[in-house]
Amino acid sequence: MNYQTQLIVVMVAYTAIIILYGIYQGRKVKNDADYAIASRQLPGWVAALSERATGESSWALLGLPGAAYATGLTEIWIAIGCVIGIITAWVAISWRLRDAAEKYNVTTFTEFIAKKHGEMGKWLRIVGSATIVFFFFFYIGAQFLGGGKTLHTMFQLDNRLGMFIIALIIVPYTIYGGFRSVVYTDVIQAIVMIIALVVGPIVGIIYISNHPDMFATSISGALELAGPSYTSIYGAGSGFAAGIVIAGGFSWFFGFLGGQPQLSTRFMAIKNAKQVKQARNIGIIWTVFAYIGALSLGWIGIAIFGPNNFADREYVMPAVILEIFPPVIAAILISGAIAAMTSTANSLLILSSTELSENIVNPLMKNKNKNPNKVLFRSRIITAFLAAIALVLAYLSSELIFTLVSYVWAGIGGTFSIVILLSLFWKKYHGKAALFTIIAGMSFTIIWISTGMEKVITTRILTFFVAGIVAVVTTYAFPKTGNIQNI
């Protein structure tokens, strides 16, 4: 069996397992609550692995290794920001969101915000859901784009054909089984991902140390040979420039503070408080190993190929794996990259679908609660429609995955982190202020990026603080009214 055939056989087998397991779980979906949030009955270990697989996406398997390959040690600040943010979310936010979801009996992220601030519930549903759907089109597109890049590296397929294949893998079972199918297939994805991110770097370090014909025989040697900017955690900058580098990397922290709906929904879906503790421990351990592995793969890429050897830096992870492993093992581990994309793409897709159907479409439909089968069918149609749009956007995009994810992390993460934090921790915060916060955060992100100011200072920092200032000011400027809106 030749090299390409071995790769294809492993990938087809892996894909078949994911699809069949997704369909099997989808058969257990009986109503819209099952479809949207698995009726909030997830075991802790399932929620943790699903949350981590969803949170890391092609970002951790392609984007972060690519950034580490391109810039060296500077990317440590991104890892620090993300890891601290994830730990904070699991320790301080996860159990509070789970308890709040149970208290308000909600099935979507925006529905919690709407019921928490009932006086503006109707408008919070509409504006919040529309904001999430808008930004998540780009996030889903980034996962399709990552799939195209990975399949191009493995099989020299055209990127667009690769994106279409990835869509064919995830969309059918996501449409059929909704949230339940997504989270349980995420468990498989998370296991494959962490194996790739732990085993890959270990073998990679051994490989380069035993091959003197490589660019370098160690990570430290590779960084030194690549140049001074690669060995500096400040990107060879100093003073204000170094501060910008640190702030830009650490800024990813703010998006994890409850503001990513696809992650917060996992918190909300956990069965009980005991399961939250189990999920917290698993989620934190997984995260630490994953980020060390992602950075290491990028640096090992420098040692093997030298710096600036890829037209697109985000090809480095699959290239490293293909270099250091036999075809069958390489295909299994590169499945980790596919796993990352599919786990996030399907999570974003089902979340966007349920936000749109539960908070915008269904409230506009007459007799929406009288026929559960029709409601469920409508949700599936909306899921298919959103998948088609996201795939078209991926075809039209030339952006790096890192860039696309960064934009969403600002617009959604920076904005909704403020809304969630203040909703959970500040009693004075009310519906009008929440609505102004969402509008301000979304608008600022779009304006800042479209005017080119992102190159000066990242909106991942600014959106969080702009949204926070707006939240505090409008909380005091506008009095809280009674429950005047239907929620």
* Angle of CA points 26, 267, 482, to nearest 5°: 110
The one-letter amino acid at 339: A
Q: So what's the pLDDT on residue 486?
A: 40
| Burial class, 88, CB count within 10 angstroms (exposed 0-12 / middle 13-18 / buried 19+) | middle
Q: What is the DSSP letter of 315?
A: G
Locate the domains of the chain by residue range: 3-367+384-402
The one-letter amino acid at 449: I
Q: Report the distance separating Cα 114 and Cα 416, nearest Å.
A: 13
362, two tokens: 């269904």
Sign of the dihedral through C-alpha 312, 313, 318, 319: positive
Q: Report the distance separating Cα 455 and Cα 469, nearest Å.
A: 23
Q: Report the distance separating Cα 151 and Cα 107, nearest Å.
A: 35
Q: So what's the pLDDT on residue 232?
A: 83
Q: Which residues contact 351 (CB under 8 A, 6 or more apart)?
A: 108, 109, 132, 136, 261, 262, 265
Q: So what's the pLDDT on residue 281?
A: 96
Instruction: Judge whether 115 and 102 are in contact, CB under 8 Å.
Output: no
Residue 42, φ and ψ in degrees, nearest 5: -75, 135
- Which candidate, 264, 255, 260, places its Cα nearest to that of 410? 255
Q: Report the distance separating Cα 185 and Cα 169, nearest Å.
A: 12
- Which candidate, 299, 304, 404, 289, places its Cα nearest to that of 345? 404
Q: Report the distance separating Cα 105 and Cα 318, nearest Å.
A: 43
Q: Kindly report the pTM of this predicted structure.
A: 0.85
User: SS3 letters for 240-276?
Assistant: HHHHHHHHHHHHHHHHHCCCCHHHHHHHHCECCHHHH
* Angle of CA points 245, 253, 121, to nearest 5°: 135
* Angle of CA points 351, 357, 358, to nearest 5°: 85
Q: Report the distance separating Cα 367 and Cα 365, nearest Å.
A: 7
The one-letter amino acid at 208: I
Q: So what's the pLDDT on residue 463?
A: 92
Q: What is the DSSP letter of 39?
A: G
Rg value, the chain, Cα: 22
- Which candidate, 329, 101, 125, 108, places its Cα nearest to that of 207? 329
**Chain-centre distance for alpha carbon 201:** 22
Sign of the dihedral through C-alpha 150, 155, 156, 160: negative
Q: What is the pLDDT along the chain (487 residues), one digit of tens a residue?
A: 666 787 788 878 888 888 888 899 988 888 888 888 888 999 999 999 999 988 887 778 888 999 999 989 988 998 999 999 999 999 999 999 999 999 999 988 999 999 999 889 889 999 999 888 888 877 787 778 777 877 887 778 888 888 888 888 888 888 888 889 889 988 988 898 898 899 999 999 999 999 998 999 999 999 999 988 899 887 655 556 667 777 777 888 888 999 999 899 999 999 999 999 999 999 999 999 999 999 999 999 999 999 988 878 888 998 999 899 988 888 888 776 776 677 777 888 888 888 888 888 877 765 555 566 777 787 788 888 888 888 887 777 655 555 666 677 788 888 999 999 999 999 999 999 999 999 999 999 888 888 888 777 888 889 999 999 999 999 999 877 654 444 4
- Which candidate, 464, 468, 470, 472, places its Cα nearest to that of 428? 472
Query: How far is CA 409 from each of CA 295, 385, 415, rounded to the nearest angstrom?
Result: 20, 24, 9
Instruction: Judge whether 376 and 35 are in contact, CB under 8 Å.
Output: yes
Q: What would you measure as the largest C-alpha separation in the chain, in angstroms?
A: 73
Instruction: Find the helix packing angle between 109-116 and 327-356, rounded to 10°.
Output: 40
CB half-sphere exposure, 329, CA atoms < 13 A: 11
Q: Report the distance separating Cα 347 and Cα 52, nearest Å.
A: 11
Q: What is the CATH number of domain 3-367+384-402?
A: 1.20.1730.10
Q: So what's the pLDDT on residue 139?
A: 76
Q: Report the distance separating Cα 53 and Cα 188, nearest Å.
A: 9
